[in-house]
Amino acid sequence: MRASYFCKKLSELGIDTVSGVPDSLLKNFCEYLDKSQNGETDDGIRFKHFTAENEGGAAGICAGAYLATGRPACLYMQNSGIGNVVNPICSLFHRDVYDIPLLMLVGWRGEPGVKDEPQHVFQGKATIKLLEDMDIETFVVSKDTTDEEVNELFETLGKLLKDNRQCAVVVKKGTFVDEKSRAKTNGRDYVREEAIGDILKLIGENDPVFSTTGKISREVYEQSDKIYGNHSRCFLTVGSMGHTSMIAFGYKANHPEKRVFCIDGDGAVLMHMGSMAFIAEQQPENFVHIVINNNAHESVGGMDTAAKHADFAAIAKDCGYKNVYIAENKEELEKAFAAIENNTELTLIEVRVALGARDDLGRPKETPRENKAVFMGKVNG
């Protein structure tokens, strides 16, 4: 299915506001929306496209757009994001509350019978049931869905939306055929995997490291194995995007004697940014929060985050982190680590890196349960 055709059908339903959090299965769709917003498509349709900080926020935008226009909006997400929209769907959109129509587009990671990463397996199994439990009329599309079937689907969707229903189109892997993507750059040159290797060397061999969802954890895994021959003190937060700093905090609260490192991403920090204020309020000693900032959701296709104009070091300072540093290269990173060597106060280091990752970047070979067992054995001694 061409993303352009799907978008044309959206437009025919009167939808012109589209918001969500990117997913690799929806990459072509998101790229088409961006082009449309910039007036670069041939069909003359102009969507208002907002990449939100989390799926719940995107649902809010869709509700607001309806309140302004009386027309439904479209909310897109990876199925991992369903958890973030349960509350707005059940306590805002549903007909027992404000009765607001909504069309959701949900990337189906972990579809039963299709090989995927362990963090997607249960979410994939639960996806249709979760949507149906929220009273959402749910449909599935795949690469085999014909234009005729899409037309029929949109006729049904049109009727449901007129009745103010919430509907979901669940998108199987490979549904949207490739739009030509543009190579993206953010003007920086510190390669993220190199930065992660430098960070791990500066941390040393033993302190616990909690790393965020996506390629950051994959690079922590690869670099740690390369540098230390193992990654046993690394907790790889393969799912649960945006919660790594709180996982690290929960660990730290029970191990006051340890120095704890959290390696976060800009998209992940933005997703649940309140955690920064919480951690600052708690002022844990020997807690180092490192934000790898590439201004993008690089792991799922490089769509922009709202980090372009966000200064994480300044935000952390305002929240109450005592030491904040920005590093754009190895030397600046080394300076930041030298400055905190004998300083136990709460620290944030923003590491500004380039976009991109190796094509042959590995994935953990052990299961998350095995990672947990080895990690707990290593860091609780």
Ligand X SMILES: Cc1ncc(C[n+]2csc(CCOP(=O)(O)OP(=O)(O)O)c2C)c(N)n1
Q: What are the residues binding ligand X (CB under 6 A)?
A: 21-23, 78, 80-81, 84, 212-216, 241, 265-268, 294, 296-300, 305
Q: Least distance to ligand X from the beta carbon of 337, Å? A: 21
Q: Least distance to ligand X from the beta carbon of 234, Å? A: 16
Closest to ligand X by CB, 41 or 294: 294
Name the residue whose CB lies closest to ligand X.
265
Closest to ligand X by CB, 286 or 295: 295
Closest to ligand X by CB, 84 or 145: 84
Q: Least distance to ligand X from the beta carbon of 208, Å? A: 20
Helix (H), strand (E), coil (C) string for the chain: CCHHHHHHHHHHCCCCEEEECCCHHHHHHHHHHHHHHCCCCCCCCCCEEEECCCHHHHHHHHHHHHHHHCCCEEEEEEHHHHHHHHHHHHHHHCCCCCCCCEEEEEECCCCCCCCCCHHHHHHHHHHHHHHHHCCCEEEEECCCCCHHHHHHHHHHHHHHHHCCCEEEEEECCCCCCCCCCCCCCCCCCCCHHHHHHHHHHHHCCCCCEEECCCHHHHHHHHHHHHHHCCCCCEEECCCCCCCHHHHHHHHHHCCCCCCEEEEEEHHHHHHCCHHHHHHHHHCCCCEEEEEEECCEEHHHCCEECHHHHCCHHHHHHHHCCCEEEEECCHHHHHHHHHHHCCCCCCEEEEEECCCCCCCCCCCCCCCHHHHHHHHHHHHCC
Closest to ligand X by CB, 192 or 233: 192
Closest to ligand X by CB, 153 or 316: 316
The one-letter amino acid at 315? I
Q: Least distance to ligand X from the beta carbon of 6, Å? A: 20
Closest to ligand X by CB, 16 or 350: 350
Q: Least distance to ligand X from the beta carbon of 68, Å? A: 26
Q: Least distance to ligand X from the beta carbon of 239, Å? A: 6
Closest to ligand X by CB, 104 or 379: 104
Q: Least distance to ligand X from the beta carbon of 217, Å? A: 9
